[in-house]
Amino acid sequence: MTDLSATAGVTDRSSGTGQSGDRGATDHIQEFLRQQDPETPCLVMDLASVRHRYRQLRAALPDIRICYAVKANPTPEVVRELVALGSSFDVASPGEIDLCLAEGAAPESISYGNTIKKGRDIARAYRQGVRLFATDSPADLANIAENAPGSRVFCRILVDNKGSRTPFGRKFGCQPRTAVALLLRARELGLDAYGVSFHIGSQQLDPGAWEHGIRAAREVFDACAQHGLQLQMVNLGGGLPAHYTQPVPPLADYVRAIETSLDRHFGEQRPQLLIEPGRFIVGDAGVLRSEVVLVADACDGENRWVYLDIGRYGGLAETEGEAITYRLRTSRDGDPCGPVVLAGPTCDGDDVLYQRTKYALPLTLRSGDWVDLLSAGAYTASYSSVGFNGFPPMRTYCIDGDQE
């Protein structure tokens, strides 16, 4: 159980790099919230922080193609900024393809990374100029061959997600031996059997986790080579973290671990490389402001219940299982604190954010006060439901801290 009794205010428990830029984003957002006092709940994104994070990653991994995972935050202004910086994009649907193209992305910068897609959606993407597709099953591969002839395909393999706060389970990816068979079949179908991808889980706290995928990718490369098929690319997936309540290793540790593993398994035969960051780029760029709807004593007599005007269905889906624990700031920071259970506003018994994780908030907290969730730029707006219980989807505002 995580003890957050000291985190009523802005407490930075992370050890990651880039913190000065992140604190600057928080300061700029706080000023916007003070001046504009927008209706809550809302998410405020600092585009300067998005640029800072992209450039930081670009400098750390200069030879790796960065494909921003659009699902992390599909706000058009965010996509537009990344287009201007030269980013590529990992997309999962026709809607995300349309968004990227509308904001100026070139079709060749788009990787259709979802292994679950309709044939007609593949055909639509192909007509729009997309030529890079992920797969992990014979049925999907057949759909690609039929609807996107001659395209590049890469096969997602299943790897260990240990160390991830939000692992993928077994929904995506196949065993390496299956990947070999699929890539050989792709060649027979006239597709360009391009390479291999893996994902070691989102919010990965173990820099060494990429070793599992890189080692498995090398096995697939070698097995395909025995059949005369020379693969070209390894997609390293996502997993680079944002800063919540748990300590996060610095980016340099991740880069060192990835580079060491690539040297170990590929040496001078290093393939073309892709990486799909989402949370790392946008997570720390956002602050989610909520309002306290109600504070009530619990029937057990132990903890107060603090009900916010946002919950699991309004954008905080990642609180399921209390996997992601946000740092909090309130309008009454500095007052004496006590333990609380945090919950959302809907008439649903599962709309409880934190009751096992120990949070302490000011004893003076009342209806109408605000509570900010820090580093909330990833997987909040994109998870905001449309109209559950009649609550409207959360609004996103974008500011530019470099222009304040």
Please state, in angstroms and rounded to a whole number, the distance separating the CA atoms of residues 365 and 352.
18
pLDDT score at 1: 33
Q: What length is written for the chain? A: 404
pLDDT score at 6: 35
pLDDT score at 2: 33
- Would you say 378 and 345 are in contact if contact means Cβ atoms under 8 Å apart? no
pLDDT score at 300: 63
Does 347 participate in catalysis according to the annotation? yes
Q: Is 74-277 CATH 3.30.360.10? A: no
pLDDT score at 117: 97
pLDDT score at 21: 42
Please state, in angstroms and rounded to a whole number, the distance separating the CA atoms of residues 52 and 29.
15
Per-residue H/E/C for the chain: CCEECCCCCCCCCCCCCCHHHHHHHHHHHHHHHHHHCCCCCEEEEEHHHHHHHHHHHHHHCCCCEEEEEHHHCCCHHHHHHHHHHCCEEEECCHHHHHHHHHCCCCHHHEEECCCCCCHHHHHHHHHCCCCEEEECCHHHHHHHHHHCCCCEEEEEECCCCCCEEECCCCCCCECHHHHHHHHHHHHHCCCEEEEEECCCCEEECCHHHHHHHHHHHHHHHHHHHCCCCCCCEEECCCCCCCCCCCCCCCHHHHHHHHHHHHHHHHHHHCCEEEECCCHHHHHHHEEEEEEEEEEEECCCCCCEEEEECCCCCCCCHHHHHHCCCCCEEECCCCCCEEEEEEECCCCCCCCEEEEEEEEEEECCCCCCCEEEEECCCCCCHHHCCCCHHHCCCCEEEEECHHHC
pLDDT score at 161: 75
Please state, in angstroms and rounded to a whole number, the distance separating the CA atoms of residues 115 and 345.
35
In sequence order, what are the beta bridge partners of 233? 195, 272
- The pair of structure tokens assigned to 219 is 């096995």
pLDDT score at 15: 32
Please state, in angstroms and rounded to a whole number, the distance separating the CA atoms of residues 37 and 121.
41
Nearest CA-CA partner of 7 in 375, 385, 361: 361
User: How many of the other CB atoms lie within 10 Å of CB of 376?
Assistant: 31
Tell me the fold of 20-42+283-399: Lyase, Ornithine Decarboxylase; Chain A, domain 1 (2.40.37)
Residue type, 63: D
Please state, in angstroms and rounded to a whole number, the distance separating the CA atoms of residues 311 and 324.
13
pLDDT score at 24: 59
For the chain, residues classed under CATH 3.20.20.10 are 74-277
For the chain, residues classed under CATH 2.40.37.10 are 20-42+283-399
Which one of the listed residues 100, 174, 347, 398 is annotated catalytic? 347
Average pLDDT per 10 consecutive residues for the chain, totaling 404 residues:
38 36 74 96 97 98 97 98 98 98 98 97 98 98 98 94 68 89 98 96 93 96 98 97 95 98 96 98 98 86 90 95 96 96 94 95 97 97 85 93 71
pLDDT score at 392: 86
Label residues 169-188 b or e (16+ Cβ within 10 Å = b). Answer: eeebbbebebbbbbbbbbee
